[in-house]
Amino acid sequence: MIVQVVANGAVASAIYVLIGTSFGQIYRVTRFFHFAHGIVFTAGAYLTLLLSVRLGLPMGVGIGLSIGLCAVLGCLMDIGVYRPLWHKGASPLVLLLGSLGMYIVLQNLVSMLFGDDTKTIRSGAVREGVLVFGARVTPVQIGTIVTSVVLVTTLWLFLRHSKMGRAMRAVAVDPALAEVCGIDSDRVILRAFAIGSGLAGIAGVLVALDVDMTPTMGMNALMMGVVAVIVGGVGSIPGVALGALLLGMAQHLGVWFIGSQWKDAIAFGILVVFLLFRPQGFLGRPIKMAGV
Amino acid sequence: MTRPLMEYLLHILILIGIYVILASSLNLIAGYTGILSIAHAAFYGIGAYVAALMALRLETSFLVNVFCAIALSGILGAVVGIPSLRIRDDYFVIATFAFQVITFSVLNNWVSFTSGPMGLPGIPQPVIFGWVVSSHWDYLVLVFCFAALTWWIVRRIALSPFGRVLQAIREDEVFALATGKNVALYKVLVFIIGAGLAAIAGSLYAVYISFIDPTSFTVMESIFIISIVIIGGAGSLWGPVVGAVVLVTLPELLRFVGLPSAFAANVRQILYGGLLVAFMMWRPRGFLGEYSFQSGEVRE
Amino acid sequence: MSAAFLQIKGLEKRFDGVKALAGFSCSVGEGEILGLIGPNGAGKTTLFNVISGFLAADRGKALYRGKDLIGMSPHRIANSGVARTFQNLRLIRQLSILDNVLLSFRNQPGERLGNVFFRWKKCIQSEEENRQKAFSLLKETGLAEKANGPAEDLSYGQQKLLSLVCCLAAEADLLLLDEPVAGIAPEAIEKILEIIRRLPSQGKSVILIEHNLDAVMEVCDRVVFMDAGAKVSEGTPEEVRNDPKVIEAYIG
């Protein structure tokens, strides 16, 4: 029984780490909460629905195109809204509010175009899944965990060892200094949006393949990613992974004990505790509080 | 004028009144003190549920219920306000998001007490010193009186030295501390007052609609309320009024342009979401505002 | 010189392993203007931040009229008769000049919610009194004409003057002035120094951080030279200026 809980928690963690990492990378270089990241997640699922189910493209093609379009969507958000605001000197709060507005507009567009009802892109009957150490896990769920581990590890290695990765870290630490060193922070930020949005799209597709989708799923998914980032530590991918794992496990253990309706409350309770007592998370650098 | 049309117009005015209360109270926290919060629907909801539950289970009078709603919501306000002392700006917004969702969770899942998703139907009409509030006109008078009272309270605070300290905190907490102001106390107090006033709106909503369920008190509702504050103009007295009028009536106007009613809710959200983005890009201080959530430094 | 008004004993403060204050001690008498000089990074502003409660000291005491300021919160210290200015000039630019001064008055009844709603008359009365006081302070310093305009409309020098006016409004007995004349025109410097010069006759004590040594020589009764978080030299302006340790620290 508990093995099943652990398995479920692991699948959830896999999704959270994808969303959290992608959100975290964008946050590191831009320093504001890109709430609209949630709708990119949703778009991953709905674009796949549109392309593969409605338009009949092969599933692989549909998914691939969808992820690409998600990356484009993220870039459009950057170029269209964030970059102009950024250059005007907008504070993180103004950017956060603009992001919220964008999320709301786009979520409602999805609602209007596709309807509010729950949809699925699962093909064929619901499969029973295989037994792994006593827990039932479907192939999609295994795929989710594998994909997540592979992608996040690749991203982590890429950021550590590539030139672009170093540029991103430079912009994350000190944008002004990075400019002086000849790094075009606009382009670095755009790349962060592209990569981050692509990853969010993948997460959306995986969730849609595993369970189902609704237009409002993005906000909740995003917040789980945010919790993972804050618990794990901004700027540390291993930290986010740890945070995602903690969150996924805590949620599903909690669900097992007190019921699934409290899933959100558990996640947000953990968030508040960390914000109050350890805002830098497990592995992040200390954040400056209000001071002189 | 036909009766249904008149009632529709009164309905709009009543909603505007309720949102004026919500936006004015949030304006104290976000506009005057500069603390952005998306937890306001939680206070709204607590107010509604306390008033409804007391009316239904204890059969106490409306004014008593409102008083208790204010008190309980005020306590919740302190619970949300105290963390603001430790958690900074954008992280604090996330914390308020968390409080909002946790409150919704409690309202939605504590079924034995709140009836959860099924909601509370049959909330009785208020009786105030013998006056039975039943018609739309009655409700309009009731809401208008409370809206005027709330607006007056916010005005009194804003124009007082207390209000001046709030604005100082908004711009430079360190300066406020150096002039001997107990910044922590001000922040917690402003949350208590803002939450308490929002509870009034909740109580009014509960008796007017006579049915409440948790879906009226979600994060989206909080975002709607902060949008009113910002678009109307944060930190100004009439801003919340202008914002409420604009954001409540505009979607209704679109109804007359032939929009399919299935999409009405969506369009309403697209409207205020879109306006929020537009104002952030081109006029962050809103229509009448003084404050634009900016620190004042220009970055290149 | 009367008994020490402010006694600082052995203040220590570490930041990430760097000793910003390494056992700093000195005292200030009543009606005395003490100049605090030293190279950048000597710990002067850190000292101010510790005394005014914005930073916690690791060790040591700062006895002001017998009360130890160390451990007190900044607003309580400000309400105990201490006022300060900031190196990076803190003012509320969105508010008017008059409002900035009005903010600086301590113990205003209108700042308490109970009074705002139940003793409004008292609030109005006190506010009116403060307004009169504020206007006369502004008139003395030549800022009265712009009183209702936003503080951000003032020139840098006028803003520095305004911060000083805010300290005067506080009716504080101990003023901590952090570079009050740095980066402003000579006429403005004179104006500010004149005000500072008059403070002892009003029973006030001042600690003045400045890099402008001429100003320090002109106005200070005593000078303390600080380096690497500790006191290196102390005495009259002349004595300190000629102290070989000081000369070495500035050149070496």
Mean pLDDT, to the nearest integer, of C170-192?
A: 93
Q: What is the pLDDT of residue B177?
A: 96
Chain A residue closest to C88 (CA)? A292
pLDDT tens for residues B190-209?
Answer: 999 999 999 999 999 999 99
Report residue C3's pLDDT band, with 50, 70 and 90 as the boundaries. Answer: low
> What is the model's pLDDT at position A164?
85
In angstroms, the separation between the Cα of residue A286 and the nearest Cα of chain C is 12
A291 pLDDT above the threshold of 60: no
Q: State the CATH number of the domain containing residue A44.
A: 1.10.3470
Domain containing residue B121: 3-216
Is pLDDT larger for residue B167 or for residue A59?
B167
pLDDT more than 70, % of chain C: 98
Q: Give a yes or no: residue B291 inside a domain.
A: no
Q: What three-state secondary structure class fits C15?
A: strand
Q: Could you give the percent of chain B with pLDDT greater than 90?
A: 87
List the 147-166 stretch of C: residues with Cβ below 8 A of A.
none
B16 pLDDT tier (thresholds 50, 70, 90): very high
Kindly determine whether residue B280 and residue A101, on different chains, have CB atoms separated by under 8 Å.
yes
pLDDT value of position A286: 63
Backbone angles phi, psi at C8, to 5 degrees: -105, 125
B161 vs C78: CB contact, 8 Å cut-off?
no
Within 8 A of A174 by CB-CB distance, chain B residues are: none
Residue A70 burial (CB < 10 Å; 0-12/13-18/19+)?
buried
d(CA A52, CA A65): 10
Instruction: Provide the pLDDT confidence category of residue A134 given band limits of 50, 70 and 90.
Output: confident
| Residue A100 predicted with pLDDT over 70 | yes
- Binding partners of A (≥3 Cβ pairs within 8 A): B, C
Task: For the beta carbon of residue B231, count every other beta carbon within 10 angstroms.
Answer: 27
- Kindly state the average pLDDT of the residues A244-273: 92
Domains of chain C with CATH codes: 1-81+173-252 (3.40.50.300), 90-171 (3.40.50.300)
Picking from B157, B174, B290, the nearest residue to C94 by CB comes out as B290
What is the three-class DSSP state of A101?
helix
- Count of the separate structural domains present in chain B: 1
Residue A97 distance to chain B (closest CA, Å): 7
Q: What pLDDT does residue A283 have? A: 82
Q: Which two tokens stand for residue B23?
A: 């936006």
Is ipTM > 0.90 here?
Answer: yes
Compute and round to an integer the Cα radius of gyration of chain B. 19
pLDDT per residue over C97-107, tens digit each?
999 999 999 99
State the count of interchain CB pairs (< 8 A) between A and B: 144
DSSP SS3 for C237: helix
**Can you tell me the mean pLDDT for A123-142?**
77
Higher pLDDT, B262 or B141: B141
Task: Say whether pLDDT at B1 is over 80.
Answer: no
Mean pLDDT of A112-138: 80
pLDDT of residue B300: 32
Average pLDDT over residues B163-187: 96
Q: Where are the beta strands (DSSP E) in B156-256?
A: none
Residues of chain B contacting residue C112, judged by C-beta atoms under 8 Å apart: 162
Interface of C with A in 34-53 (CB under 8 A): 49
Query: For the residues A117-122, what does the mean pLDDT come to?
Result: 83
Spell out which residues of chain A touch residue B106, defining contact as CB-CB under 8 Å.
265
CB atoms under 10 Å from CB of A161, counted, come to 9
- Give me A235's structure tokens: 């700027």
Collect all residues of chain C within an 8 Å Cβ-Cβ radius of residue B181. Answer: 75, 103, 111
Closest residue in C to A291 (Cα–Cα): C54
Domain of A150 in residue numbering reads as 2-277
What is the per-residue pLDDT for A126? 63
Q: Which two tokens stand for residue C163?
A: 């911060």
Residue A131 domain-assigned (yes or no):
yes
Per-residue pLDDT tens digits for A204-246 = 999 998 888 999 999 999 999 999 999 998 878 999 999 999 9
Across the range B176-189, mean pLDDT stands at: 96
- pLDDT for B299 beyond 50: no
Do the Cβ atoms of C122 and C128 come closer than 8 Å?
no
Contact A269 B102 (CB under 8 A): yes
**Smallest Cβ distance to B189: which of C84, C93, C113?**
C113
Instruction: Identify the weakest region by mean pLDDT among A136-140, C57-61, C116-120.
Output: A136-140
The whole-number average pLDDT for the span B117-123 is 95
Q: Does pLDDT of A176 surpass 90? A: no
- Given a cut of 70, whether residue A180 has pLDDT beyond it is yes
Which residue from C minimizes the CA distance to B297? C93
Q: Given 3-state DSSP classes, what are the helix, strand and coil percentages for chain B, each rounded to the nearest 5? A: 75, 0, 25
Residue A283, domain member (yes or no): no
Bridge partners (DSSP) of residue C225 are: C37, C233
* Stretch B225-252: mean pLDDT: 95
- Using the predicted structure, report yes or no on whether residue B297 has a pLDDT greater than 50: no
pLDDT exceeds 70 at position A287: no
Encoding tokens for residue A87? 């250059």
- pLDDT by residue (tens digit) across B81-107? 999 999 988 899 999 999 999 999 999
The mean pLDDT of B20-45, rounded to a whole number, is 97
pLDDT at B110 exceeding the cut of 50: yes
Predicted local confidence at residue A202, as pLDDT: 96
C54 touching chain A per CB within 8 A: yes
In a domain, A290, yes or no: no
The string of pLDDT tens digits covering residues B269-291 is 999 999 999 999 999 999 998 88
Residue A292: inside a domain: no
Q: Is C122 on the interface with B (CB under 8 A)?
A: no
Q: Is the model's pLDDT at A273 over the cut of 70?
A: yes
pTM of the model: 0.94
Per-chain mean pLDDT for chain B: 93
Residue A44 vs residue B259, higher pLDDT: A44
Section B241-260 average pLDDT: 88
Cα angle vertex C157, ends C155, C163, to 5°? 105
Instruction: Give the pLDDT mean for C47-62.
Output: 94
Instruction: Tell me what the pLDDT averaged over chain C comes to.
Output: 92
Strand runs labelled E in chain B: 127-128, 131-132
C55 interfaces chain A, CB cutoff of 8 Å? yes
Q: Are strands C205-209 and C33-37 parallel, antiparallel or unpaired?
A: parallel
CB contact (8 A) between residue A105 and residue B88: no
| Nearest-by-Cβ selection for B177 from C74, C107, C117 | C74
Please give the tally of structural domains in chain A.
Answer: 1
Say what the pLDDT of residue C1 is: 43
B158 within domain boundaries: yes
Q: How far is CA C108 from CA A11, A107, B156, B161, C82, in A?
A: 59, 49, 16, 8, 16
User: Nearest residue on chain C to B290, judged by CA atoms?
Assistant: C94
Average pLDDT, chain A: 90
Residue B241 lies in a domain: no
Is residue A289 pLDDT above 70, yes or no?
Answer: no
- What burial letters (b/e) apply to C81-119, b meaning 16+ CB within 10 Å? bbbbbbeebbbbbbbbbbbbbbbbbbebbbbbbebbeee
Rounded to 5 degrees, φ, ψ at A133 are 55, 35
Residues A35, A36, A40: CA angle, nearest 5 degrees:
130
pLDDT average, residue stretch A23-33: 92
Token pair belonging to C49 = 């931040």
pLDDT for residue A127: 66
B147 in a structural domain: yes
Averaged pLDDT, C144-160: 91
Of A259-263, B141-145, B163-167, which gets the smallest average pLDDT?
A259-263
Residue C252: predicted pLDDT: 56
pLDDT at res. B90: 86
Instruction: Provide the percentage of residues in chain A whose pLDDT is more than 70.
Output: 96
Residue A282's φ and ψ, nearest 5 degrees, are -70, -50
Q: Which residues contact A98 (CB under 8 A, 6 or more apart)?
A: A81, A82, A85, A90, B276, B277, B280, B281
Q: Would you state the pLDDT for residue A292?
A: 42
